[in-house]
């Protein structure tokens, strides 16, 4: 799929259509070997670990690995144990998701913006529950997928597994692949994912226009996989220009309040590649 969507990575012996065909052949082997769980939010709990939907899952134990995920994503004072809630979701991402799917069950499983402070019993609110957006902390919802779900936990570290790759992503990939191949299977794959979340295919999926379906499925990766790692890959897979126009500029040109929202970098070398650490540059003689 990466070679199909980025010609700079494709060998001259393969056409774009060849790569889509090869992708379909690999993906269809996994089709129906797994199944979606009924409750989306359950995927991101300890009780939902290693489910029928999980293909690759990082096994985490607070005793063995001291995972920082729980305290870094769990809102401050959401539980008695140490929690900072440093990593949040930009408000524009939430707004786009909510506008397209107002009753999406994924909203509750992905974001949290209101909870009772365990230390003093007061109600803590961030955007969108608190629409004021007076500062960075209040201006964006917390990311709930990796937050500690046990509100009585006194542990600093977390034990919740991290899903690397799951069946819902494969279904979205098959939908994208099928759209590019024109095999008329694409709607069936994405419909399975949407129905689980209480949604039905919107006009972008049902118009019968390949370009419109492509735009819809690329956005769907974000709504389904936000924060799981693979969403960053899909954002960039179609190359710098696509990432610039559909993600970076889409955010930078939004009408959210200046000063509370970050302006994303537009330099290709910064947003498409992982910089080599300075310590490696200084000590590796093979790096010029």
Rounded to whole angstroms, the Cα distance separating 21 from 1 reads 9
Where is pLDDT greater, at 140 or 276? 140
Q: Given pLDDT bands bounded at 50, 70 and 90, which one contains residue 286?
A: confident
Domain locations in the chain?
2-37+165-256, 60-160
Mean pLDDT of 178-200: 98
What's the DSSP call for residue 241? H
Residue 256 has pLDDT above 70, yes or no: yes
Q: Given pLDDT bands bounded at 50, 70 and 90, which one contains residue 101?
A: very high
Instruction: Name the percent of the chain lying above pLDDT 70.
Output: 99
Output Rg (C-alpha) for the chain, integer angstroms.
Answer: 20
* Whether 99 contacts 88, CB under 8 Å: no
pTM: 0.92
**CB-neighbour burial class of residue 75 (10 A; exposed 0-12, middle 13-18, buried 19+):** buried
Where is pLDDT greater, at 113 or 278? 113
Mean pLDDT of 220-244: 91
Least confident of 7-16, 51-60, 104-113, 207-216: 7-16
Q: Given pLDDT bands bounded at 50, 70 and 90, which one contains residue 203?
A: very high
Mean pLDDT of 150-172: 92
Instruction: Name the percent of the chain lying above pLDDT 90.
Output: 73
Q: Given pLDDT bands bounded at 50, 70 and 90, which one contains residue 258?
A: low
Q: Given pLDDT bands bounded at 50, 70 and 90, which one contains residue 134?
A: confident
Q: Which residue reads 């690999």 in tokens?
A: 26
Those residues whose C-beta lies under 8 Å from the C-beta of residue 35, and which sit 6 or more positions away, are 52, 53, 167
Mean pLDDT of 280-287: 88
Nearest C-alpha neighbor of 162 from the set 262, 93, 230, 257: 230
Residue 172 has pLDDT above 90, yes or no: yes
CATH topology classification for 2-37+165-256: 1.25.40
Residue 255 has pLDDT above 80, yes or no: no
Where is pLDDT greater, at 112 or 232? 112
Q: Is the peptide bond before 82 cis (omega within 30 degrees of 0)?
A: no
Residue 287 has pLDDT above 90, yes or no: no
Instruction: Quote the mean pLDDT of the chain.
Output: 93
Which regions of 118-186 does DSSP assign to beta strands (E)? 123-125, 142-143, 162-166
Mean pLDDT of 61-86: 87
- Parallel, antiparallel or unpaired: strands 114-116 and 162-166: unpaired
């Amino acid at each position: 799929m990466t070679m199909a969507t980025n010609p700079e990575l494709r060998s001259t012996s393969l056409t774009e259509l060849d790569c889509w065909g090869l992708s379909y052949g690999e993906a269809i082997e996994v089709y129906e070997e797994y199944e979606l769980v009924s409750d989306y939010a359950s995927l991101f709990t300890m009780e939902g670990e290693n489910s029928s939907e999980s293909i690759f899952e990082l096994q985490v134990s607070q005793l063995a690995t001291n995972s920082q995920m729980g305290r870094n994503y769990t809102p401050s004072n959401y539980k008695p144990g140490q929690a900072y809630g440093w990593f949040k979701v930009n408000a524009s991402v939430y707004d786009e998701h909510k506008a397209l799917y107002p009753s999406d069950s994924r909203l509750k499983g992905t974001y949290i913006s209101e909870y009772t402070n365990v230390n003093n019993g007061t109600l803590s609110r961030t955007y969108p529950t608190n629409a004021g957006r007076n500062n960075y902390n209040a201006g964006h919802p917390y990311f709930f997928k990796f937050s500690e779900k046990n509100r009585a936990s006194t542990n600093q570290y977390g034990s919740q597994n991290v899903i690397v790759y799951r069946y819902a992503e494969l279904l979205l990939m098959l939908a994208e692949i099928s759209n590019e191949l024109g095999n008329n299977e694409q709607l069936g794959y994405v419909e399975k994912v949407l129905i689980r979340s209480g949604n039905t295919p919107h006009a972008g999926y049902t118009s019968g226009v390949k370009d419109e379906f492509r735009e819809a499925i690329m956005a769907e990766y974000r709504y389904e996989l936000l924060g799981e790692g693979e969403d960053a890959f899909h954002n960039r897979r179609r190359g710098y220009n696509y990432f610039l126009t559909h993600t970076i500029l889409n955010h930078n040109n939004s009408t959210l309040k200046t000063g509370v929202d970050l302006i994303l970098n537009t330099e290709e070398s910064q947003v498409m590649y992982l910089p080599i650490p300075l310590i490696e540059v200084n000590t590796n003689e093979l790096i010029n």
